[in-house]
Amino acid sequence: MEREPSTQRWSMDEEDVSGDVRTVPHGRSLLSSSMVGSANRGRVLQTLFDLGPTSRAELARLAGVNRTTISGIVQPLLDQQVLVEGNPIRPSEAGGKPARPLWFSPDARPICGMMLMPDAVHTCLVTLAGTISAEHSVRFPVENPRIADIESAIETCTSRTLASARREPLGIGVAVGGMVDTDRRAIIAVNLAPVLNGFELGDMLTRRYGLPALLDHHPRALLVGDRWFGKGRGMQNFAAVYTGEVLGGALYLGGHLYRGRSGAGGELGHTFVQVDGEVCSCGRRGCWETIATVGWLRRQARAIGLDTPDEINSRRLVALAGAGVPGARDLLDLYARNVAVGIANLQQTVAPNFYVLHGDVVGGGEIMAEAIAGHVRALVPSRSGGEISFAIGETEDRAALLGAAGLVLSELLQFPL
Ligand SMILES: [Zn+2]
């Protein structure tokens, strides 16, 4: 399915961003004929993101625009230092003029990525090529934190990161470890830090820094990071699944991130896998989160008498299983199966067929991924053309920060979300 940027507000010009994007940082407008130039530009840039460094001729062909149009799009982006031309590469043996691949300039305006967790905030700058720099993190007070303390921690952290930016960032993207109203750019609920409930973080950041600010639920940000900078590059259908102290996921279907109304969709951790099962952090019973988190793993490790059960995670479990520690291999298999149960439901419902695994299971590497894949394949009836594949995502913080930056990028490119 061909993707079309649906609106026009793509601009890397400082003036345009301060005027247009900043005043309506999350609004939407329809494509009109006078904006087609911009739509082409969005498509060209998106093609570049999907393919990596690419020559003009190839880019024009794949984005479906002619050579004159591509020059009209590329030249201003080169002038604005959004793109750079690399060293000439030899074309095929047929000869011809050596092509110079285009790619995102390290001097382009960066994006500020933020990860907000129940106990800390983490910020960085991300280049359009996906390089992370200027990372800072600040922990929140543990004993009865007040919202003012958290606001000031966020401000300290963000200001340190922004001080390193050589050019004004394009915006601030935030991955929130909790429920988010993406339209209001506010936090709805963070089970592990209720003081954040109702916090209008997007408005606070825009007010304080004068930059567009976008929020999304942490697993959805992971997926956006995969789509722009990671294993989901160029994909039309895939899902991101995160396991850790909580469990979550996000879906990308037919070239669109599926958010649901006001961002209410994708609460995969709270889909039911066991009728009348254990009580979940959400207060209901039998959620997927009750059988496939690190908390569950710790309880099981204690029950079977593993040493230091409180330190168990996928990385350690794989090592213990490899060393032949009694019970470890079975526990690994059970954990993998419990993760697979939710994925199998997802596969049967919407069939993304490609899953990027995030969070704790990343530490278990290929062994963990293979164990999960094996169970999913056993749980889902096989059908021709329906191969299910798995990839291991970036390490935890990196994945979330790239994802947070990706939220801003999606908005700038008017990527259909
Ligand atoms: Zn639940």
Tell how far the Cα of 16 is from the centroid of ligand 1, in angstroms: 43
Average pLDDT on 57-82 reads: 88
- Boundary (domain end) residue, out of 68, 86, 104: 104
How many angstroms separate the CA atoms of 201 and 299, rounded? 35
pLDDT digits (tens, 9 = 90+) for 46-62: 888 888 899 998 988 88
Domain containing 381 equals 234-393
For residue 261, the CA-to-ligand 1 centroid distance in Å is 19
Rounded distance from Cα 178 to ligand 1 centre (Å): 12
- Would 16 be classed as within a structural domain? no
CATH of the domain at 62: 1.10.10.10
Compute the distance from residue 67 Cα to the ligand 1 centre, in Å: 53
In a domain? residue 10: no
- Give me ligand 1 centre to Cα 353, in Å: 25
Q: Are residues 376 and 293 in the same domain?
A: yes
- How many angstroms is it from 336 CA to the middle of ligand 1? 19
**Six token digits for residue 155:** 């401000």
Residues 377 and 255 placed together within one structural domain of the fold: yes
Q: Write out pLDDT tens, residues 188-217.
A: 988 788 999 999 999 999 999 999 999 999
Statement to judge: residues 195 and 86 lie in one domain:
no
Residues 341 and 285 occupy one common structural domain: yes
* Ligand 1 mean position, distance from CA 278 (Å): 10
Residue 275 CA to ligand 1 center (angstroms) comes to 12
Q: Which two tokens stand for residue 151?
A: 């606001």
Asked, for residue 21, whether it belongs to a domain, the answer is no
Decide if 215 is inside a domain: yes
- Gap from CA of 284 to ligand 1 centroid (Å): 5
CA 199 to centroid of ligand 1, rounded, Å: 22
The Å distance, Cα 21 to ligand 1 centre, comes to 37
Q: Is residue 17 part of a domain?
A: no
**195 and 247 together in one domain:** no
Beta-carbon contacts of 369 under 8 Å, excluding residues fewer than 6 positions away, are 357, 361, 390, 391, 392
Mean pLDDT taken over the chain:
86
Domain count, the chain: 3
Domain membership flag for residue 126: yes
DSSP code string of 151-184: HHHHHHHHHHHHHT-SS--S-EEEEESSEEETTT
340 and 385 within one domain: yes
Are 199 and 346 members of one domain? Answer: no
pLDDT of residue 131: 94
Are residues 241 and 323 both part of a single domain? yes
| Same-domain pairing of 166 and 202 | yes
Q: How far is the CA of 313 from the centre of ligand 1 (A)?
A: 21
Neighbours of ion ligand 1 (CB under 5 A): 270, 280, 282, 287
How many whole angstroms from 294 Cα to the centroid of ligand 1?
A: 15
Q: Is residue 73 part of a domain?
A: yes
Query: How far away, in angstroms, is 285 Cα from ligand 1 center?
Result: 7
15 or 215, higher pLDDT: 215
For the residues 311-323, what does the mean pLDDT come to?
97
Residue 97 has pLDDT above 70, yes or no: no
Please check whether residue 147 lies inside any domain of the structure: yes
Q: What DSSP element (H or E) covers 337? A: helix 328-350
Centroid of ligand 1 to alpha carbon of 145 (angstroms): 25
Query: Domain holding 116: CATH number?
Result: 3.30.420.40
Residue-level pLDDT at 50: 87
Token representation of residue 71: 């020059």
**Final residue in a domain of this structure, among 46, 77, 104:** 104
pLDDT tens digits for range 372-382: 999 999 999 88
DSSP string, 127-156: -TT--EEEEEEEEPPSSS--HHHHHHHHHH
Distance 286 CA to ligand 1 centre (A): 7
Mean pLDDT of the 14-32 span = 36
Mean pLDDT, range 273-292, rounded to an integer: 94
Confidence of residue 274 (pLDDT cuts 50, 70, 90): very high
pLDDT of residue 87: 84
Q: Are residues 408 and 389 in the same domain?
A: no
Are 272 and 343 members of one domain?
A: yes
Average pLDDT over residues 13-34: 36
The Å distance, Cα 160 to ligand 1 centre, comes to 36
Which of 104, 131, 146 delimits the end of a domain?
104
Same domain, 358 and 254: yes
